[in-house]
């Protein structure tokens, strides 16, 4: 009897369903797969729980395959120290949540609808619509290399990936996270994933932690230029090396897009809008005084995969974005002092474009979308 009592107590701890689960009572769809039926107060139900615990698997939950290992940081990127919460189990759970439309109102949208893996985790539609049908203020940024980013968002209003996810869950997916997680708690496979990742039941904090772990491991590296720098001279067109020299010196692009991340993780005004408060989107000015009209410097890694460009998707092509910078903001007022007009020869201009494209793969690395429970 003491063995049986200990096993039942262990079940309650593992499954997190309380005494009802350990008595064999069904709790949600797919639960209660032991031999006991009804209220499960008989010896048979208790025996089924004991057998499940003895087998090392909580009763009523499916057996999960091992989570894949954490993605490796690709060549070309610096070393990174990830939070302890970035575990294989959390990343596997986060992948499910990222692609699951059930976490949105009326199952109308998922994170992956705007942050598309085939587009380098960016979007090709400029300012997309929210699930509620409202136009977004700004262009969807690519969710890559955020493990090195201190403040997230075009204006840097989010202090962490978790903060950004919490806000976008409500704003973009139009559903309170508590409602979404309560719904997923009725799916045995999701309960198994949460239990494996956190040791407990599904919660909003656990879901956001898992989503953040997935997002933080979306890397963009090992581009053709990285392979060239490792000695593969055939990895890039001949003009790329000249283009890198133009990028670093004459065009001064590396002032704001320094390697190896090709972003200074800072905010600059490009003259795309008026910096006067109330005249439009004040950008960083909404967060920090005196920074009206400034926006985050996006990484150039993977940029060729997801036009359009800038915070409002103002330019449809990468060449148009390059030319805007070379024109020093096209003569617009309120331009950052780091952006000055530069005149290049036709060959230099061509070479610059070749180099910038060499920071992107020919196509996004394949990503196996998860099978949702």
Segment 220-263, tens digit of pLDDT: 999 999 999 999 999 999 999 999 999 999 999 999 999 999 99
pLDDT per position as a tens digit, 53-99: 334 567 789 999 999 999 999 999 999 999 999 999 999 999 999 99
pLDDT band at 279 (very low <50, low <70, confident <90, very high): low
pLDDT of residue 186: 95
In the chain, % of residues over pLDDT 90: 69
Question: How far is the C-alpha of 274 from the C-alpha of 122, rounded, in Å?
Answer: 26
Residue showing tokens 């954490």: 70
pTM over 0.85: no
- For helices 43-54 and 2-15, the axis angle rounded to 10 degrees is 70
pLDDT of residue 135: 85
pLDDT of residue 331: 61
pLDDT of residue 108: 94
Instruction: Tell me: pLDDT of 37 over 90.
Output: no
pLDDT of residue 29: 33
* 294 backbone dihedrals φ, ψ, rounded to 5°: -90, 145
Instruction: Tell me: pLDDT of 2 over 70.
Output: no
Instruction: Tell me: pLDDT of 14 over 50.
Output: no
Instruction: Tell me: pLDDT of 314 over 90.
Output: no
pLDDT of residue 330: 65
Task: List the single range of 35-49, 55-69, 75-89, 183-197 with lowest mean pLDDT.
Answer: 35-49
333 compared with 173, residue with greater pLDDT: 173
- The helix/strand count (H/E) of the chain reads as 13, 2
Task: List the single range of 69-78, 281-290, 345-354 with lowest mean pLDDT.
Answer: 281-290
The answer to whether 60 touches 31, Cβ cutoff 8 Å, is yes
How does DSSP assign 26-91, residue by residue? --STT---SS--TT--SHHHHHHHHHHHHTTS-TTSPPPPPPPPPPPPPTTSPP----TT--HHHH
**Residue 123 structure tokens:** 């979007």
- Smallest CA-to-CA distance from 314 within 127, 98, 46, 102 is with 127
Instruction: Tell me: pLDDT of 274 over 80.
Output: no
Residue range 194-218: mean pLDDT, rounded: 97
- For helices 346-357 and 318-326, the axis angle rounded to 10 degrees is 130
Question: How far is the C-alpha of 73 from the C-alpha of 145, rounded, in Å?
Answer: 10
pLDDT of residue 189: 97
In the chain, % of residues over pLDDT 70: 81
In three-state secondary structure terms, 171 is helix
16 compared with 94, residue with greater pLDDT: 94
Instruction: Tell me: pLDDT of 7 over 70.
Output: no
Residues in a beta bridge with 309: 315
- For helices 88-99 and 188-198, the axis angle rounded to 10 degrees is 150
The CA-based dihedral angle spanning residues 155, 159, 162, 167, taken in that order and rounded to the nearest 10 degrees:
-40
- Smallest CA-to-CA distance from 354 within 204, 235, 239 is with 239
Instruction: Tell me: pLDDT of 8 over 80.
Output: no
- Smallest CA-to-CA distance from 126 within 357, 313, 335 is with 313
pLDDT of residue 60: 83
pLDDT of residue 297: 95
């Amino acid at each position: 009897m003491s063995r049986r009592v200990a096993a039942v107590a262990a079940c309650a701890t593992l499954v997190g369903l309380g005494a009802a689960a350990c008595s064999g009572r069904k709790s949600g769809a797919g639960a209660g797969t032991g031999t006991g039926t009804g209220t499960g107060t008989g010896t048979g139900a208790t025996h089924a729980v004991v057998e499940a615990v003895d087998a090392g698997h909580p009763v009523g939950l499916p057996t999960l395959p091992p989570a894949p290992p954490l993605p490796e940081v690709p060549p070309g990127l610096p070393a990174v120290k990830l939070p302890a919460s970035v575990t294989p189990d959390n990343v596997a759970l986060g992948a499910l949540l990222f692609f699951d439309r059930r976490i949105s109102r009326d199952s109308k949208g998922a994170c992956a609808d705007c942050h598309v893996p085939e587009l380098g985790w960016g979007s090709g539609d400029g300012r997309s619509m929210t699930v509620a049908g409202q136009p977004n203020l700004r262009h969807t940024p690519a969710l890559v290399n955020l493990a090195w980013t201190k403040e997230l968002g075009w204006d840097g209003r989010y202090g962490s990936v978790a903060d950004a996810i919490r806000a976008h869950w409500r704003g973009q997916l139009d559903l309170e996270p508590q409602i979404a997680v309560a719904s997923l708690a009725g799916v045995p496979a999701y309960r198994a994933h949460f239990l494996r990742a956190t040791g407990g039941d599904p919660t909003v904090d656990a879901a956001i932690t898992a989503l953040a772990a997935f997002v933080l491991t979306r890397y963009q590296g090992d581009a053709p230029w990285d392979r060239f720098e490792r000695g593969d001279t055939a990895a890039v067109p001949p003009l790329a090396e000249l283009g890198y020299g133009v990028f670093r010196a004459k065009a001064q692009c590396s002032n704001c897009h320094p390697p190896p991340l090709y972003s200074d993780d800072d905010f600059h005004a490009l003259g795309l809008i008026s910096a006067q408060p109330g005249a439009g989107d004040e950008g960083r000015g909404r967060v920090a005084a005196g920074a009206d009209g400034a926006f985050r410097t996006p990484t150039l890694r993977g940029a060729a995969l997801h036009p359009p460009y800038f915070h409002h998707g103002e330019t449809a092509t990468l060449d148009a974005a390059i030319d805007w910078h070379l024109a020093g903001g096209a003569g617009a007022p309120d331009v950052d002092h780091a952006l000055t007009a530069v005149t290049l020869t036709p060959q230099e201009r061509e070479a610059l474009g070749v180099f910038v494209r060499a920071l992107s793969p020919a196509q996004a690395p394949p990503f196996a979308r998860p099978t949702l429970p």
